[in-house]
Amino acid sequence: MTPETPATLIVLSGHAETLRATWAGQLGGSAVRIVLMDEKAVVRARTIIRELRVPGQRAAGFGCKQLELQRYQFVLNTYLLFATGRRKHILDETGSCVEFSLLRYFVRDFPSFLLELAASGVILLTAYLTLRVRLFAGSRPDRT
pLDDT in tens, 62-94: 999 988 877 789 999 999 999 998 999 999 988
Gap between the Cα atoms of 63 and 20, Å rounded: 9
C-alpha to C-alpha distance for 73 and 61, rounded to whole angstroms: 12
Could you tell me the residue ranges of all domains in the chain?
Answer: 7-100, 102-139
What's the pTM value of the predicted model, to 2 decimals?
A: 0.81
Convert the pLDDT of each residue in 110-142 to its tens digit: 999 999 999 999 999 999 999 988 888 776 655
> Residue 63 and residue 44: Cα distance in Å, rounded?
17
